[in-house]
Each structure stands twice: as C-alpha cells, then as structure tokens.
Amino acid sequence: MVTATSSLPQAEIPAGRKKKTQLTREKIRAAWIFLTPMILVLLAVAAWPLIRTIWLGFTDARLSVPGSGQWIGFENYLFWLDYGDGEGEWIGLLADPTWWRAVWNTVYFTVIAVSIETLLGLLVALVLNAQFAGRGFVRAAILVPWAIPTIVSAKMWDWMLNDQFGILNDMFMTLGLISAPIAWTSSPDTAMAAVIMVDVWKTTPFMALLILAGMQMLPGDVYEAAKVDGIHPVKVFFKVTLPLIKPAIMVAVIFRMLDSLRIFDLIYVLTPNNAQTVTMSVYARQHLFDFDNFAYGSAASTLLFLIIAGITIVYIYAGRVNLSGDK
Amino acid sequence: MSGRQKKLLQQLGLWVLIVIISVYALFPFYYAIITSFKSGSAIFQVTYWPTDFSLANYWGVLAQGRFPRNIFNSIVVSFAVVVLSLLLAVTAAYALARVRFQGRGILLFTILSVSMFPQIAVLAGLFEMVRGLGLYNNLLSLILAYMIFTLPFTVWVLTTFMRDLPIELEEAAIVDGAKPHQIIFQVFMPLMWPALVTTGLLAFIAAWNEFLFALTFVSNDAQRTVPVAIALLSGATEQEIPWGPIMAASVIVTVPLVILVLIFQRRIVAGLTAGAVKG
Amino acid sequence: MRLRSQTSVMALVLASFVAGTAASAADLSIVSGAVGRDIDELRKHLDMFEAETGISVDIVTMPASTTDQFGQYRLWLSAENPDIDVYRVDVIWAPQLSAHFVDLSEHAADVVDDHFPAIIQSQTVDGRLVALPMFTDAPALYYRSDLLEKHGFEPPATWVELTETAKAIQDAERAEGHDRIWGFVWQGAAYEGLTVNALEWVASNGGGQIVEPDGEISINNENAAEIIDLAATWPGNISPPGVLGYREEEARGVWQVGDAVFMRNWPYAYALSQSDDSAVQDLFDITPLPTGPSGDQNAAGLGGWNLAVSEYSPNKEAAIELVKYLASYEIQKDRAIETTRLPTLPALYEDEDVLAAQPVIGEWLPIFQEAVPRPSAPTKANYNQVSQEFWTAVHATLSGNGDAATNLTQLERNLMRIRRAGW
C-alpha cells in the first residue's frame, strides 16, 4: 500500500499463543476501559443524532408547532395526494423535482470539480516531485489555500468575482477574453462555474499533496532502469508512474468526493439561493430551518446520507480501492 | 536541438509551471491583503499592486464591533475540541493499536466511516439535542458537535502512529511491571509529541474553519465564531457591502493559519497523508 | 501527571469562556438586519433609551438579505433562545412566527389607535398583536430629474415607457462619454426582494398577487407572463447584467455614484441619496412605480418593519418598554427626518418639522396607502417556500432560462404541490 491511510493498523502482539495469559486478559480489559469514553462520545454526537434524524424523517415535525412529531410513515418520501375528484398526484421527496435537481447539481459539481482537481493535483504533484531550489516554499504556498477557512476563501473570491469591481473581470477584459463584465456569482450560466472555480482553488493542494506522498514512495531504481533503456519520460509516466500511484489517487479522490457531495458553506456564501447551485445539503438545511419543514428536511438529510453511502460503496467496489489495507 | 538546449528548455518549462502554481495559489490571498489596506472609494479601483496603506479597515474590525470576541470564541472552541479529542484519542488509539481483541476491525472501520459523515445528516438530531440540553447559543454546543469530525480523525491518525512504535519499549515496561495507563503516559507519550502536534493542528484547523454547526447553534454576535462572523458581517455604516472590513477580517484570521502552515508544513503534509483529513 | 495538567488547562479554558460570556451581557438584546444607516440610527435611539431608563441594549447584527434573516430568526425562536429579547421583523413574518411572540395588545393598548389601522391589522394574528410597527415601507421609482430634463423626457407612467426612456437616455449619455451609466437598477438577486419587485410588475399589469386572499393560485396568467417577459429584456440592455445579483444596497451603490437613470428602491435611499457625499444630491426626484401595459395600478410592494418581543425573553417587561419606545411618536419622527423612513403614525405626516425637513414624506403617503401586500396571509407557514418558488421562476426567466409562460406553468404546478390539501 502506498499511503498509510489505506492500511488498517495491525496489533503488534503476537496472536499465536494457545491460551490467553493473565496479562493479555488484563490488557483487553484495560483496552475496553480506554475505549469506552471515546465510544460514548461518538454514540452521543454521531449515532444518536443520526438515528433521530432518520426517525424525524418519518414524522410531521415542524419547528413552529411545538409538540409536533407524529409518526406518518413514508409520507415525506412518497405520498399519493388525492384531490378527491378522481385526480391526484405523487408528492414527497422522491417525487420532488427540486430535490432531484439538487441531487443532480451535487453530482455534477462533484464530478466536474473532483476531475479538475485530480488532473491539476497530478500536475502540481509532478512539479513538486522534481528537484529545484525553493521547493519548500512552493509546497508551503500551495498549502495556503487549503488552510484558509472556506468562508474566507468564498468571500475573497466573491470580491474577485464581483461584476463591477472584481479583478477577474478586469483581467479577462484586459486580456480580451470577454467583452463585457460577467456577473459570475449571480448569473445562472456561470454560478456553478464560479463555485467550481473556488473549490478547485481551495482543494487542489490537498489532492496534490496526497498524490505527491504516493509518488515519493515509488522505488527509484525503476526510473534508473527506464532511463538506461532510453524510454521516453512521457511513456514512463503512463506505463510506470501512473499505475503505481493509482492507489494513492483513488484514495485521494474518495476523500475529496465525500467532501464535495456534502458541500454547503461555499455555496451558502458565494451563490445563496441560486437555483443552479442548490445542492443536497443546501436543500436539506433550507427545509429544516428556512421553510419550516423540519421533518421533510430530515427526510432529505437521510436520503443524502444514503446516497452518499451508496456512491461510496459503489466507488470502493468498482475502483477496488483498498481501504481495509489487506495487501 | 542539442541535448543541452533540450535540458534548458525543460528547466524553463518547469520554472514557468512553478511560477504559475505559486501565483495561482497565493494571488487571492495577496489580493485580499491589498484590498484590506484600501479605504474609502479606492476600494472600487481595480489595482494589481499595493497602492494604499490605510489601517482604517483593520481599525474598524478590531476596535469596533465584536470581532475580537469572535476570534476569542474560535480559539476557545478549537482549543477545547483539540484537547478533548486528543485526550480521548490517545487512550483509545493505544487500545486499538497495541491490543488485539474481538471487534477491533469493525470498530476501526466504524470510526473511519464516522469521520466521513456528511454533517447535514446529523444536523436535525444534533439541533434537537442541543435544544434539549439547553446549550443553544452556547459555545459548549459547538465543542460537543465538533467531536463528530475531530475525534474519529485523531483516533485514526494516532492509531496508525502508535502501531509503529517499537514493541521493545512496551515489553521492557511490562517487565518493569508497568500498567497500561503507565505505558501510555510515561513510555509512549514522550515519543508521541510529533504525532500529537500534527493531529492537534489538523483538528484545530478543522474546528477553526467549521461553518454549518456554528451557523445553526449560536445566535448572538458575542457567541459567533470567526467563519459565521465573517459570513454575516454587515455594514454598520453607510456602505453597500463592507468589502474593506471583510477583507481585513479575512486577513486577520488567515495570517495565523498561514504562519502555522509555514512552520509545520512538513508535519501537516505527513498528517494529511496519514489521515487524509477533509480538505 | 500530564493528564492532570491537561485537565487543568481544560478547566481554565472553560472557566475563561464562561466568565467571558457573562461579562459582555447587556440587559437586553435586539436583533436587526440593516440597510444604509439603520444600525447607526438604531444605536443612537438605544443610547437615548438607556439614558432615560438605565436599561442597556445590545444589537445583534444580521446581513441585509431578508431571506437569510428569516431562516435564522425561525431557527433561534424554535430553539427557544433566551438570549434575544426583541426581534425586528418584516411585515410578512408575523403570521409565521406569531407563536413565539408576546401578545402586546394589552401592553400597547394606549398607543395602538395612533397607528394606521391597516398596519396594526397586519400584525394581529388570531386577536393577538404580535409586533408594534417601527416604520412602514413602500418603494418608489427614483429618477434623475436633471437627465430627464436634459434629454426631454417626462417621468414614465408605464413600464414600457420606462424601458424606452431608460434606453434612450442611457445611449445618449454613453455617446457623450459616460460609459458606466445604466438605465435602470433594481433588485434582481434570487431572494425575497425579487419577490417584491416581481409582484409589483405583475400586480401593476393586472396579473394578480401570486396567491389570492382566498388561497387560489393565480400566478399563471397572460398578464403576469407579459410583464415578466418585458422585465427579462432589461438585464444587459438597460440594467447591468449583474442586476441578477443585486439587492437594495447594490442598486443604491450604482445609483448614488450617478451611474443610473432610474432606480426602484425603498424610502431609506432617499435620505442617503440626498446626503452631501452623494453624487446625485438634488438631481433626482421620485414618482410612483409605473403601471403595466395591460394594467392600471401603480403597485408598490408593501414593506415595513415591526418590533416583536420574544416569548423566551427573561426580561419581557423591559423588552416591551423598549419596543414601545422605538415605536413612539418622538422616535419615529427622528427616524423620518434623519433616514426618511415612513412613519406608521398618521399624525406624523402632518407634523411641520417632518414636512419641513423631508417634504418627500408627504409625497410618499399615497404610494404607501395603495401598496400591495405579499401573499403571506393566505399561504401562512408556507409563505417562505412560495416566495422562493416565485423568485426562482422569475430569476430563471430574467436570466433567459425559458420564457415566462413556461416558467409560470411550472411554478403553478410547484405551488400546488406545496399547498397539497390546503395552505
């Protein structure tokens, strides 16, 4: 395995003993005592809230109606609304075009952004893998976008993308790329592009560093041999480097993907209320708090959880990503 | 083309790429800095080089309003979260790394999955809990909520780290009659500072940058953390959007992070690759 | 040993922040969004209040976008947050938040009759008066009297005339070298403000009020589609393309530096445009918003801000006192003179000081009296979602994603889903 991420820690205690010694038993007891506080905290902040969210999705809870929260089954998900005159229609989350629009927006954003980030990350990693003076500086420089709070980077870019006073429009107009200022964050045609632009800027470093770590573990003798044989560097890259760092890329991609699928803060600040950039998280929070549909929002949260879990499992299975660490 | 020319060209190409990458990474931050030093209507003139050097925006952000208070809140929350999660994680990591017991693999896998949780999935449940415990608009609610992403992450990274510590140390301690907690705190701890600093730093940054919970669980200006304060910064004066103060505030909260990153960049990279913390 | 030192650090941290929380507390907290000089003005009145009563008040600030404010307010109220005592609420929020607010009808019995009955009515839910009016609001069309005169135009009476006049003056001015000038600025961002803007267009063209008082969804009609299609020709033509991201303050920014011929905005912009550092000082005037080509109503969207006391305030007495103070004759008078906010007390429209300092307040009275309310009463708790659907459909049309007829048909379907069996 290439990165430490991907290998499950192995216990160092030899397991081959026929009988558990007194010492081992004592150790196991101590281990559970050590683990208990952490498990309790995780149960409280992760398991219980998740269960409650799922439960709330099956109720009619509203924040403005104290004491509401009666079990209504799957009505939030799918419900045949009978108009009483023989007409009717399906309503609920599964029949809500706005929800599916949000799912599409999220998936679209994730695929485009993560693809660009992977390619750029690969490029940056290749550059950083070369020997040159000031490499430490460049590596630190690309960490800056990663360290900046998402809200701050959203505001910085919001200012740079401002339609009237933004430097980006000024730059593009000076270069002759555009003829009139573009309202990047408010125009439906460019809102998603603006979000992707900022996300790529912010998270490419993460990608690059993970890939770089993979590259630096590659055996040097392979390259020496390739050099001696006079194989073209580009060919070496595609035939040798890429296959070897593929596991590292796969792991980096899955972490970025999970992150993009739940994106919220960047959109909340950069393109609020813009129908083109409403993602699953934004949709869920809107219903939870802005629209007084606490139960419906909970249902959306649950569905989002299932969708993300589903995509992750498919990805791990199809990409044969080795997260469990078995060699 | 001779070999030397070719090599020179390659070098040139490499340097062009290096410059592009650096400029791309740093320019938005640079532009925020030069904007933050502009005052009045100068802010609406696009310039590529620093033109003004007015501290008015910084003065406005730091001396009026609640921003210093928000910074303090962020420090308190992030610090408390880091200390608490490290405390819980060190012992848990020992158990997971050095003891073989039933269910260890499942537990580790669960911890890894929790660290990837979409936060929105627990928002409704957590909100209910915060309200029920009477922690609304209280920083304790954030300290509690942030455990969901810092704790699994720290446990995971510390486990990978502790697994690599030499077995001889532990065996020697056992021969001397040391109990497990003595092994952790007296034998391993001194060796673990680099790992603790790295994970602590990454957890700190994650908590410092969090927005969704902070937006949902506190209301008053005085309780807001930095990201919420910046997102909701409204003009108290007669400007349209207070871009100058927003940029000044952004620079103020980012500079410490940038300095930390510069100092600890090697550790951060090591920690990132070990734990693949969220970006 | 290390464990102990870590524990003590923890304790220290917790102690310091708990202490810090207590130290900053004022007697009351009021939450208020802001445009223009609102916060400065409010601070001044709160200081006066403190001088009179000894009760100190903290302002909790919110961004200007009313949509974000509403979501946060509902969140805080449903969390039964005791840390905010007074909420400044939009005229349409009373029906949706009424359960969380104190009934003021008895406390304010002595002053209720001084206000416009219609406004008091709008803040009364099931016989409970949930908020006292602070000021009322109705937008007007701001126009550059100097430019209209120079190019020989009259203030437009219809939206079509406005489009033509704006285009003509914009082109003429640009030909003279005023490159940045635009014909018309308004609020086109995807938020509550666009709902009000578009409701004005629709109502002025005889297209109804989105949802009628009896709950009927009326928005999908030809008159509505006609006027929204007309508005869709504005961005990039007579309005900056960025208008699709403009709220009140962005529009005022362009207007106040002299880069717009017309602006649709609320009264607060008047005082600011007349201030000494304004490029349009004494160069502009106001007129009612135009009528549509197929309608005859000068429809101004009814706004206005009111003050409500939270049911969860530990200090209700003082909070009620504060609300009554901020809604009083003297304070409303000062607000009208300083920031041209429209008073909710009929008597102030005849007050000589007010009319002398801000004659425009008198001009605004008829505009406000004919203002069109948003459909918050019939749609009840669903209003926010209805509004979002409406502004989304309009925003899509304005940005060229489908024509109005198509988008309004879709909108009607979405609204029916929200309504389900009934509002």
Q: Looking at residues C58-68, what average pLDDT do you find?
A: 73
Determine how many CB atoms are found less than 10 A away from the CB of residue B56. Answer: 16
Tens of pLDDT, residue by residue over C179-237, are 889 999 999 988 889 999 999 999 999 999 999 988 899 999 999 999 999 999 999 99
Do B118 and B236 lie in one domain? The reply is yes
Give the rounded percent of residues in chain B with a pLDDT score beyond 70. Answer: 93
Residue A322 lies in a domain: no
User: Is residue C194 within a helix (H) or strand (E), and if so which, with residue range?
Assistant: helix C192-204
- Domain range for B84 is 65-278
Do B78 and B184 lie in one domain? The reply is yes
Interface residue B179 vs chain C (CB under 8 A): no
Give pLDDT, residue A75. 87
Calpha distance A119→C401 (Å, rounded): 32
Confidence of residue B190 (pLDDT cuts 50, 70, 90): confident
| Residue numbers in B near C78 (CB within 8 A) | 131
**Alpha-carbon gap: B144 to the closest alpha carbon of chain C (Å):** 13
Interface residue C96 vs chain A (CB under 8 A): yes
| Residue numbers in B near C9 (CB within 8 A) | 83
Interface residue C187 vs chain A (CB under 8 A): no
| Rounded (10°) CA dihedral C260, C264, C267, C268 | -60
Q: What is the ipTM of this complex?
A: 0.89
Tens of pLDDT, residue by residue over A94-109, are 988 889 999 999 999 9
- Find, among C16, A53, C83, the residue nearest to B135 by Cα: C83
pLDDT exceeds 90 at position C136: yes
Do B139 and B27 lie in one domain? The reply is no
Say if domain C140-301+376-419 classifies as CATH 3.40.190.10: yes
Share the mean pLDDT of chain C.
88
3-state secondary structure of B66: coil
Tens of pLDDT, residue by residue over A26-38, are 888 888 999 999 9
Residue A29 lies in a domain: no
CA distances from A115 to A109, A111, A209 (A): 10, 6, 16
Give pLDDT, residue B61. 85
Q: Looking at residues B223-228, what average pLDDT do you find?
A: 92
Residue A40 lies in a domain: no
Q: Please enumerate residues of A whose Cβ is less than 8 A from a Cβ of C.
A: 62-66, 81, 89, 91, 96-98, 163-164, 180-183, 185-189, 272-275, 286, 289-293
φ/ψ of C28, rounded to 5, equals: -135, 155
Q: Looking at residues C150-165, what average pLDDT do you find?
A: 95
**Alpha-carbon gap: A126 to the closest alpha carbon of chain B (Å):** 10
Q: Which CATH number goes with the domain that contains B178?
A: 1.10.3720.10
Give pLDDT, residue C25. 59
Residue A224 lies in a domain: yes
Interface residue C7 vs chain A (CB under 8 A): no
**Structure-token pair, residue C173:** 């001015």
| Lowest mean pLDDT, pick from B98-107, C7-16, C98-107 | C7-16
Interface residue B72 vs chain C (CB under 8 A): yes
Confidence of residue A321 (pLDDT cuts 50, 70, 90): low
Task: Say if C6-138+303-369 and C140-301+376-419 have the same CATH topology.
Answer: yes
pLDDT exceeds 60 at position A10: no
Residue B115 lies in a domain: yes
Q: Looking at residues C390-399, what average pLDDT do you find?
A: 92
User: Within 13 Å, how many C-alpha atoms sit on residue A271's CB side?
Assistant: 30
Do B85 and B39 lie in one domain? The reply is no
pLDDT exceeds 60 at position C326: yes
| Residue numbers in C near A193 (CB within 8 A) | none
Interface residue B233 vs chain C (CB under 8 A): yes
Calpha distance C55→A299 (Å, rounded): 45
Q: Is C162 left (phi over 0), alpha (psi -120 to 50) or beta?
A: alpha
HEC profile of chain A: CCCHHHCCCCCCCCCCCCCCCHHHHHHHHHHHHHHHHHHHHHHHHHHHHHHHHHHHCCECCCCCCCCCCCECHHHHCCEEEECCCCCEEEECHHHCHHHHHHHHHHHHHHHHHHHHHHHHHHHHHHHHHCCCCCHHHHHHHHHHHHHCCHHHHHHHHHHHCCCCCCHHHHHHHHCCCCCCCCCCCCCHHHHHHHHHHHHHHHHHHHHHHHHHHHHHCCCHHHHHHHHHCCCCHHHHHHHHHHHHHHHHHHHHHHHHHHHHHCCCHHHHHHCCCCHHHCCHHHHHHHHHHHCCCHHHHHHHHHHHHHHHHHHHHHHHHHCCCCCCCCC
| Residue numbers in A near C395 (CB within 8 A) | 188, 274-275
Subunits in contact with chain B (3 or more CB pairs closer than 8 Å): A, C
Do B136 and B228 lie in one domain? The reply is yes
The answer to whether the Cβ–Cβ distance between C417 and A91 falls below 8 Å is yes
- Find, among C253, C228, C227, C230, the residue nearest to C240 by Cα: C253
pLDDT exceeds 50 at position C3: no
Confidence of residue B221 (pLDDT cuts 50, 70, 90): confident
Confidence of residue B188 (pLDDT cuts 50, 70, 90): confident
Give pLDDT, residue C11. 53
Domain boundaries in chain C?
A: 6-138+303-369, 140-301+376-419
HEC profile of C105-168: CCCCCCCHHHCCHHHHHHCEECCEECCEEEEEECCEEEEEHHHHHHCCCCCCCEHHHHHHHHHH
Domain's final residue, options B29, B54, B79:
B54
Give the rounded percent of residues in chain B with a pLDDT score beyond 90. Answer: 38
Confidence of residue C65 (pLDDT cuts 50, 70, 90): low
Among A98, A273, A290, the residue with its CB nearest the CB of C190 is A273
Give pLDDT, residue B174. 81
How many separate domains does chain B show? Answer: 2
How many separate domains does chain A show? Answer: 1
Tens of pLDDT, residue by residue over A272-284, are 878 889 999 999 9
Residue B220 lies in a domain: yes
Calpha distance C136→C154 (Å, rounded): 28
| Lowest mean pLDDT, pick from A114-118, C23-27, C162-166, C194-198 | C23-27
| Residue numbers in C near A293 (CB within 8 A) | 385
Interface test mutation site (partner A, options C399, C413, C420, max chain A beta carbons within 10 A): C399
Within the 52-81 window of chain B, which residues sit less than 8 Å (CB to CB) from chain A? Answer: none
Confidence of residue A214 (pLDDT cuts 50, 70, 90): confident
Q: Looking at residues A97-122, what average pLDDT do you find?
A: 94
Do B237 and B129 lie in one domain? The reply is yes
Q: Looking at residues B74-96, what average pLDDT do you find?
A: 93
3-state secondary structure of C309: strand
Tens of pLDDT, residue by residue over A232-275, are 878 888 888 888 888 888 888 988 998 899 999 999 989 887 88
The answer to whether the Cβ–Cβ distance between B240 and C3 falls below 8 Å is no
Among A38, A147, A156, the residue with its CB nearest the CB of B258 is A147
CATH hierarchy code of domain C6-138+303-369: 3.40.190.10
Confidence of residue C394 (pLDDT cuts 50, 70, 90): very high
Residue A120 lies in a domain: yes
| Residue numbers in C near B204 (CB within 8 A) | none
Do B88 and B43 lie in one domain? The reply is no
**Alpha-carbon gap: C71 to the closest alpha carbon of chain A (Å):** 4
Residue A129 lies in a domain: yes
Give the rounded percent of residues in chain A with a pLDDT score beyond 90. Answer: 36
| Lowest mean pLDDT, pick from B160-174, C253-267, C404-418 | B160-174
Residue A13 lies in a domain: no
Residue B200 lies in a domain: yes
Give pLDDT, residue C184. 97
Give pLDDT, residue A217. 78
φ/ψ of A179, rounded to 5, equals: -100, -25
Using DSSP bridges, classify how beta strands C86-90 and C57-61 pair: parallel, antiparallel or unpaired: unpaired
Residue A74 lies in a domain: no
Subunits in contact with chain A (3 or more CB pairs closer than 8 Å): B, C
Q: Looking at residues A20-28, what average pLDDT do you find?
A: 78
| Lowest mean pLDDT, pick from A22-26, A27-31, A153-157, C37-41 | A22-26
Q: Which CATH number goes with the domain that contains A242?
A: 1.10.3720.10
- Domain range for A199 is 97-150+193-291
Do B190 and B130 lie in one domain? The reply is yes
